Amino acid sequence: MSERRTFLQVAAAAIATAKFPILGANDRVNLGIVGLGGRGRDHIQFFGALESDCRIASVCDVNQPARERAVALVQKSKGYAPKEYADMRAMFESKDIDAVSIATPNHWHALATIWACQAGKDVYVEKPASHNIYEGVQMVKAARKYKRMVQVGSQSRSIAHKMKAMQLIREGVIGEVHHVRGLCFRRRFSIGVTPVEPVPAGLDWNLFLGPAPLRPYTKNRFAYNWHWFWDTGNGDIGNQGVHEMDISLWGLGRTDWPLSVSSTGGKFIWKDDQETPNMQTSTFDFGDAQMSFEVRNLPTPPEGLTAMRGPNYTGNIFFGSQGFLIVDPSGFEVYKSTANVVGAASAGAGSAERYEKVMEEKASEQMIWSTQPHMKNFLDAVRHRDASKLNADIEIGARAAAFCHLANIAYRTGRMLRIAQSTGRFLADEEANALLTRNYRQPYVVPENV
């Protein structure tokens, strides 16, 4: 792939200064965790288990009850109380913090990461990396300019069987790959309708909204359901689906833009507050290969390796000239065609083609959803000051998020969109181009000059 077609323009790296101290390879990283909801508490648990590598020195959330729960959790599990902050900017100013872990809603990921980089902190940021495509570009620039380690929480990049499956694809185990299906079948239920009501005590609602428009408080716009509003989330394609989107791009080896994107679907059955679709099918055309992606939140049969043991299935199916490979949290399987491809059509052998399983690997039960190896990879890179050690550097994470955003833009505009390879902008479609970024609410603006 030509360097002129790389996905993101990388900013020139700045020279490190005394403002950005370098840890020794054996030093423990003093970590601050921002965002203390369900995923933030996971971060406390997972990073806390890596006690020889890091110390949870501080916690931050706009919601006082969440801070209190987090402090109590650290106190119980580690025997000390971390310092608490209501505003991440105060945490970033602290000289006692080396790195931060960001588990906020999606609309805060970019600005929090950029602010942290500017303050000389390394960053572990949850997926999707950004809320829109512009933000991902700016995050890469900030990481490079301030020479920060920025890892996106795409933990598949650190899971052994998925790493092996991608290596096999690169080695040609199924021949030349021409198509990949990404599957995100997560059973969801209606969120109902919640009325406008007073902001709960202890919650800074203005700070929660941050870069997003100022809206009245409702229960559905807070806590987990922020995922299903365009102001703050990206639907399930940007929630769970971004993991499978990243694996799709990883296996295809693509770092360029697709020639076109289309996305159809809708929000069916439910009559509630949700804005994002619960059924969505997207197609990305690269000219020499194709990628499709399906989101289903309603009852659906699983596909791939998983038996009918539950309502969810997430995974990827790669199709090559010699067979196909299925990879999901349970493991991977490789099937090869038994046909003699040369002359098969003239011999009428196509109808007799069969596939033989030639390889499989099962994931260990404790590794299926584990995030700890990915977090340890981040901490190792922090101590060694080597971004090449990161398994999911910000450029990788921003790329995966961008493809989710491309699909959502095509869905929201309701048409197939063609993309300029040199700029990543949509051709002759200013309505679509406007959705590459957002109108930021002062002072929470993702800057052009990071």
- What does the pLDDT look like over 272-293, one tens digit per residue? 999 999 999 999 999 999 999 9
Pairwise pLDDT comparison (26 vs 327), residue with the higher score: 327
CB atoms within 10 A of CB 10: 14
Q: How confident is the model at residue 354 (pLDDT cuts 50, 70, 90)?
A: confident
Q: pTM score, two decimals? A: 0.92
Architecture of domain 10-157+370-393: 3-Layer(aba) Sandwich (3.40)
Pairwise pLDDT comparison (362 vs 9), residue with the higher score: 362
Q: Looking at the predicted structure, is the pLDDT value of residue 17 above 90?
A: no
- What are residue 338's DSSP bridge partners? none
- What are the b/e assignments for 114-149, b being 16+ CB within 10 Å? bbbbbbbbbbbbbbbbbbbbbbbbbbbbbbbbbbbb
Do 50 and 379 contact (CB within 8 A), yes or no? yes
Average pLDDT score over residue span 32-51: 96
pLDDT digits (tens, 9 = 90+) for 48-67: 999 999 999 999 999 999 99
* % of the chain surpassing 90 pLDDT: 84
Average pLDDT score over residue span 98-108: 98
Give the helix ranges, DSSP H, for 233-351. Answer: 235-239, 241-252
Q: Looking at the predicted structure, is the pLDDT value of residue 206 above 50?
A: yes
Q: Looking at the predicted structure, is the pLDDT value of residue 10 above 70?
A: no
Average pLDDT, the chain: 91
Look up residue 369 and give its DSSP letter: S
Q: How confident is the model at residue 140 (pLDDT cuts 50, 70, 90)?
A: very high
In sign, the C-alpha dihedral spanning 370, 125, 260, 1 is negative
Q: How confident is the model at residue 7 (pLDDT cuts 50, 70, 90)?
A: very low
Q: Looking at the predicted structure, is the pLDDT value of residue 390 above 90?
A: yes
Pairwise pLDDT comparison (433 vs 351), residue with the higher score: 433
Q: How confident is the model at residue 9 (pLDDT cuts 50, 70, 90)?
A: very low
